[in-house]
Amino acid sequence: MNILHPRKAKGFTLMETLLAVALIGMLISIFLTVFVPARGMVQKALTKQESDRVISILRAELNTVRESERSKDNKASSPGSYTCPFDKGFYWILASTKPSTSVVVFSYRADTKASVRADGSYPPIPITESRPGGDTQLVSMACTMDNPIHKKDIMHAVGPVFLVKLTQIEPDHTGVYRLAKAPGIVSKASSPQKYFSSEDSSNPWGGAIFFRADFYLMVPPNPARYKNRPWSRVGRPIFSTNMSIRR
């Protein structure tokens, strides 16, 4: 006669469970120690790369006077009509008094099949339109928010849109350079010509203007939302840099 013995239940002892938990905890600790800082460094590098790219776009535009922006008589300048890059930078600083007229930096998909506009750029492809193929081009742009050619392009931007506040850096009575009291102020003159003529030969910087550029993330990228908004309601800049323009 065969006697059936009950099957013995098999499992882990308390000691085995504790050892397994300790091993898993050690592996997690090693992972966090090795991979999390590496991920942070990669993100930091990508952020630095993006900020450098945006700054270079602004710097390149400040050093360029487009045909549509050039003063007709090439003697007198005014907002939107410049004789040289110095004039352009001067008026862009003045435009930083409020966000609605300040500088924006963004990218958009240009329709290369369309006619070229007055400043030599192509119009954007609407952000809602999908157009695969070779008739598009990614264009990076820096302009004032109220630019008559590009103000509608902002609505079709690809990627982040940056709002830029330009504040002059000027020497105080002790000769130490400090930020001006408010953005949109250029001390000593109301026009580039007056500013340049006020700088005598004893000034080692000549007609240079130093300023700080504060970059804010524009969310949503809709110029109408910033029409009556002061800088105090824009938030904090995500990065800043010191720059200069020279004649």
Domain boundaries, the chain: 16-247
pLDDT the model gives residue 12: 63
Reduced to 3 states (helix: H, G, I; strand: E, B; else coil), residue 159 is coil
Is the backbone of residue 198 left (phi > 0), alpha (psi -120 to 50) or beta?
A: alpha
| pTM of the complete model | 0.77
pLDDT the model gives residue 63: 93
pLDDT the model gives residue 46: 45
pLDDT the model gives residue 90: 94
Q: What is the pLDDT along the chain (247 residues), one digit of tens a residue?
A: 555 555 555 566 777 777 777 777 776 765 555 555 544 443 444 477 888 999 999 999 999 999 889 988 777 888 889 999 999 999 999 999 999 999 999 999 999 888 999 888 999 998 888 776 667 788 999 999 999 889 889 999 998 999 999 999 987 777 788 898 899 988 878 888 888 777 655 565 567 889 999 999 998 888 999 988 999 999 999 999 999 988 7
Please give the structure tokens belonging to residue 85. Answer: 């890059």
Report yes or no: 129 and 156 within 8 Å, Cβ to Cβ: no
DSSP symbol at 67 = T
